[in-house]
Structure 1
Amino acid sequence: MQISDKISPFDLVPDDRALAIREALRNAIVDRRLVPGTKLSESEVGALFDASRTVVRAALQMLAFEGLVRAERNRGAFVSNPTPEEARQVFASRRLLEPGIVTAAIERITSADLDAFRHQLQEEARYMSEHGPAARRAEIKASGDFHLMLASVAGNAILQRFMDELVARSSLVIALYGSTGVSRCGHGEHGEILDALERRDAVRASALMLHHIDHIEADLDLRVREGLALKDALDV
């Protein structure tokens, strides 16, 4: 598969099948069912979804524009395999964006929003109490969703899109370099951030967010985990 640098994501007009495939693959990548380096064969994906190579290629192009998939000439498409330097850049970007998102969210947050955040923390806690790979993936996704909810409450659509990509890339980085204990610590930090949001203490909330991001990055190591085969990861 070849992806031209001249193509913009806005030039793509995928049909519903391409969007569905993109969403299924994206979820499998973000949920860590497909680990970095996994080959995404157009023929295999097409067979799993009963779709043409053209439709599959459109889905993979969308993922490539998000940075979740890389295309290599004469080799095909692979789940992106971020380098340590790229991992550092992801978290450096989050440090630049998320304190501002927290400040903006405090100006707009409502009682209903606070209730939604509390429910989200309950979901995180529920997954933490369960065991097995599926619960672990759900726990990590719930942790990322907390940050995406903050971006949504902040009310800036552009920042929300950036955060959607950064959280997805963070999941890739954690899949490759992270240990298994960070999200449990992160859950407590989410609660502290929520307390600061409720008190509308922007200074403390921003400081807590920076500490939280530092904590996640400090948990990274160089161990590589084994992933599932494409068919097993997608479960279709």
Structure 2
Amino acid sequence: MNNLMPHPDQPERNVLASLSLPGRAGKPSVDDIYPRIFDAILEQRIAPASRFTEESLGDVFGVSRSIIRRVLARLSHQQVVILRPNHRPQVAAPDLEQTRQILHARRLAEQTLVRLACKAPQPKDLQRLRDLIERERQCLDRGERGPAIRLSGEFHLQLATMAGNAPLAQFLGNLVPLTSLALARHEIKSRRHCAWQEHLAIVDAMERGSVDQALQLMSEHLDHLEQKLLMAAGTGTSK
């Protein structure tokens, strides 16, 4: 588990500085701060020895501890951060069996969600998916791996929203962030991530009304993800 507590070393201060929102007018909101902290976790800038408190994070963003608590509660709800009474927050570290179960549950959920989303996709919803794909691609071009992984997950969550089944979308919302965390820990950093191309192919199939092809493409996409993560987690390598 990775801890978030204060640490006096210079590298820790550099991590805190990198989380800030320079040049922003006014107080940042929970929605502003959440991706900054999540990206730092995904990029492993918040490393196993990194330690922060609500107070230190509040100082970085210039907000109250109550705002930081809401951010951490959101990450806790997604099971990315573990919160326990009288303990400092910890970053979750899914093991091989947890990763296997998460991916199996995602496969069951997403096949149904894709089928539902394909019934009558609205142009504005398809454009939201394309916008996420483009932002993911741009992040990869800039070498911003953490934000790219987060945006890749948001693609799946947006698709779930399109399906119009709130309980199923909420269920997926508890699985995707953990998958992102596992991906960040194990994926080869030098390898170009191919998720955005696979996402784009799925949207193209949905736009054509090709339900069977969209389902097949999603299945293949999840196959690739599972092979990559389970192989890496099983061998202990960053593959």
TM-score under structure 1 length normalisation:
0.70
Corresponding residue to 1:161 among 164, 170, 173: 170
Check conservation: 1:124, 1:143, Cα contact below 8 A: yes
CA distance in 1, matches of 2:171, 2:30: 19
Cα 1:125/1:21, change in 2 over 3 Å? closer
Moved more, 198-207 or 80-89: 198-207
Cα 1:148/1:32, change in 2 over 3 Å? farther
Q: Deviations over 1:188-214 (max 9, x none)?
A: 221221222122222221122121011
Residue 149 (1) aligns with residue 158 (2):
yes
- Please report how far the alpha carbon of residue 186 of structure 1 lies from its aligned counterpart in structure 2 after TM superposition: 2.0
Corresponding residue to 1:93 among 97, 105, 129: 105
Check conservation: 1:39, 1:78, Cα contact below 8 A: no
Cα RMSD (Å): 3.3
Q: Who is 2:201 aligned against?
A: 192
Structure of higher RCO (CA pairs closer than 8 Å, 6+ residues apart)? 1
Q: Who is 1:219 aligned against?
A: 228
- Please report how far the alpha carbon of residue 86 of structure 1 lies from its aligned counterpart in structure 2 after TM superposition: 1.3
Identity over the aligned pairs, expressed in percent? Answer: 32
Q: Deviations over 1:68-103 (max 9, x none)?
A: 112467652211111111111221111011011100
Q: Deviations over 1:175-232 (max 9, x none)?
A: 21222367632222212212221222222211221210110121121346xxxxxxxx
Cα 1:54/1:120, change in 2 over 3 Å? closer
- Please report how far the alpha carbon of residue 166 of structure 1 lies from its aligned counterpart in structure 2 after TM superposition: 1.9
Cα 1:87/1:47, change in 2 over 3 Å? same
Q: Where in structure 1 are there 5+ consecutive unaligned residues?
A: 1-15, 225-236
Check conservation: 2:117, 2:163, Cα contact below 8 A: yes
Residue 121 (1) aligns with residue 133 (2):
yes
- Please report how far the alpha carbon of residue 22 of structure 1 lies from its aligned counterpart in structure 2 after TM superposition: 6.9
TM-score under structure 2 length normalisation:
0.70
Moved more, 201-210 or 52-61: 52-61
Q: Which amino acid aligns with 2:98?
A: E
Cα 1:41/1:155, change in 2 over 3 Å? same
Q: Secondary structure at the match of 2:182?
A: helix
Cα 1:200/1:52, change in 2 over 3 Å? closer
Residue 178 (1) aligns with residue 190 (2):
no
Corresponding residue to 2:92 among 67, 70, 80: 80
1:101-120 matched pairs, under 5 angstroms:
101-120=113-132
Q: Where in structure 2 are there 5+ consecutive unaligned residues?
A: 1-26
CA distance in 2, matches of 1:182, 1:92: 25
Check conservation: 2:78, 2:173, Cα contact below 8 A: no
Cα 1:52/1:166, change in 2 over 3 Å? same
